[in-house]
Each structure stands twice: as structure tokens, then as C-alpha cells.
């Protein structure tokens, strides 16, 4: 959680070849962003989590976690943070019972209030652009000023600044820093450049 708030960016990736995870994690560290969310959308995800976790200095989160069994798997593979697309109460309750940092997804006031009941104050706003993006978060600002949101879904270098300027936004998640084709083709220098550009933009805000 500390790495997320410190860097204000979360690279979100779906890895189809676990062998690429080491080079990808190293590129992120070299680019100044030692944080990665590896989604459990592919068969390669568990092995990718293990490989990324072995890279010195990087904080690894598991994304698209939808069941307690997936939480267990992710933690066994090295994940130290659990991120979900929605507010799955079974996942939240398991994480809280096992003292695991978790960031569930929300997009409505009712879901934010449900998260409040669990004592969760850092929430993923997903899918951000589809649910009104910056406009919706501005509407949330007065009512939910004690929360920190991580908008993900449709966030890119062009609208990143608009999100991060909002006081209730802790960080932004996105895949633009780690394009699938660049990962598959092992173009880690390109990824490092994209990461550096994003990190540089954050520093100007």
C-alpha cells in the first residue's frame, strides 16, 4: 500500500508467458516504478507472480482476484497486495482475517459505503472511464473525502494528470505503460521508456 501511494502509479499487466515476468519487473524498477499488478487472467499468472516477486526491490500485487482460493494462491506465489475488480465480500473478509492489504473495486456510492463498513479506505474505482471518470470522482469528492481512490480502466498518459490532480485520488492503474505486444516481444527497453515518461509526468503534478 505504501508503494502505491508513494509512486501514484500501478502498472496493470496480464502476462501470457511467465518467462517475461522477470524482465518486465526489472524494466519497471529501472524506470523508477518498483510496483506491478499481475492479473489472474491467464494461466501463466501464478508463475509470473513468482518470477516478478524474485526481482529485488519490487512490490507485487495480484489483480482480478475474485475468490478466497485465488487470494491464497496469489500469496503463495509472492503477492503482497490483493486487488479485485469489484467489492467481493468473501475476498474482503478473507483478506481482513489474514491481515492482507486489499483494494476492492467500486463504482457506486453504495459500494463505497459497503467498503466503509469493513474499514477499507483505499478503493479501486473501476472501470473508471466507463463510469464517468474524473467527473464522477469530482462528485464523490465532498461525500467521500476520507477515502482514497485508484481509478483504473481507460486511464492513459493523456488523462492521467486530470485524475491525479483530484485530492481523493491516491494513484492510477493502467496498462499503457506495459503494452502486451512489448511484453510478448521482450521489448523491455520500450517499457522502461514508457514508465519513465509516466513517472516524469507524475512529478510535475
Q: Which of 5, 26, 72, 124 is catalytic?
A: 124
Q: Which of 5, 37, 121, 193 is catalytic?
A: 37
In this structure, the number of other CB atoms found within 10 A of the CB of residue 37 comes to 27
Q: Which CATH class is domain 2-204?
A: alpha beta
The whole-number pLDDT of residue 197 equals 94
Question: Rounded to whole angstroms, how far apart are CA atoms 74 and 166?
Answer: 31
pLDDT digits (tens, 9 = 90+) for 56-84: 999 999 999 999 999 999 999 999 999 99
Reference 177, options 18, 33, 3, 15; nearest CA is 33
Per-residue pLDDT band for 11 (boundaries 50, 70, 90) equals very high
Per-residue pLDDT band for 2 (boundaries 50, 70, 90) equals confident
- DSSP 8-state code for residue 129: G
Per-residue pLDDT band for 146 (boundaries 50, 70, 90) equals very high
pLDDT digits (tens, 9 = 90+) for 98-143: 999 999 999 999 999 999 999 999 999 999 999 999 999 999 999 9
Domain boundaries, the chain: 2-204
Whether 37 is a known active-site residue: answer yes
Residue 30 buriedness (CB in 10 A; 0-12 / 13-18 / 19+): middle
The whole-number pLDDT of residue 4 equals 85
Exposure string for 51-86, b = 16+ CB within 10 A, e = fewer: bbbebeebbbbbbbbeebebbebbbebbbebbbbbe
Residue 1 has pLDDT above 80, yes or no: no
Whether 192 is a known active-site residue: answer no
How does the average pLDDT of the chain come out, rounded? 97
Mean pLDDT of 168-194: 97
Tell me the pTM. 0.96
Question: Rounded to whole angstroms, how far apart are CA atoms 61 and 103?
Answer: 10
Helix crossing, 109-117 with 133-143: angle to 10°? 50
Amino acid at each position: 500500500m505504501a508503494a502505491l501511494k508513494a509512486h501514484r502509479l500501478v502498472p496493470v499487466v496480464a502476462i501470457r508467458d511467465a518467462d517475461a515476468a522477470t524482465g518486465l519487473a526489472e524494466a519497471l524498477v529501472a524506470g523508477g516504478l518498483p510496483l506491478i499488478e499481475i492479473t489472474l487472467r491467464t494461466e501463466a499468472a501464478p508463475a509470473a507472480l513468482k518470477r516478478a516477486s524474485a526481482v529485488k526491490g519490487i512490490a507485487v500485487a495480484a489483480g482480478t482476484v475474485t475468490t478466497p482460493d485465488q487470494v491464497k494462491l496469489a500469496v503463495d506465489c509472492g503477492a503482497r497486495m490483493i486487488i479485485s475488480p469489484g467489492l467481493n465480500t468473501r475476498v474482503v473478509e478473507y483478506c481482513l482475517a489474514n491481515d492482507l492489504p486489499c483494494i476492492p473495486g467500486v463504482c457506486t456510492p453504495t459500494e463505497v459505503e459497503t467498503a466503509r463498513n469493513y474499514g477499507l479506505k483505499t478503493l479501486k474505482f473501476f472501470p473508471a472511464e466507463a463510469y464517468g471518470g474524473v467527473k464522477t470522482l469530482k462528485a464523490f469528492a465532498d461525500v467521500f473525502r476520507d477515502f482514497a481512490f485508484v481509478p483504473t480502466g481507460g486511464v492513459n498518459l493523456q488523462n492521467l494528470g486530470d485524475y491525479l490532480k483530484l485530492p481523493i485520488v491516491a494513484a492510477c492503474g493502467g496498462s499503457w505503460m506495459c503494452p502486451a505486444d512489448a511484453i510478448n516481444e521482450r521489448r523491455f527497453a520500450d517499457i522502461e521508456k514508457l514508465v519513465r515518461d509516466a513517472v516524469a509526468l507524475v512529478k510535475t503534478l
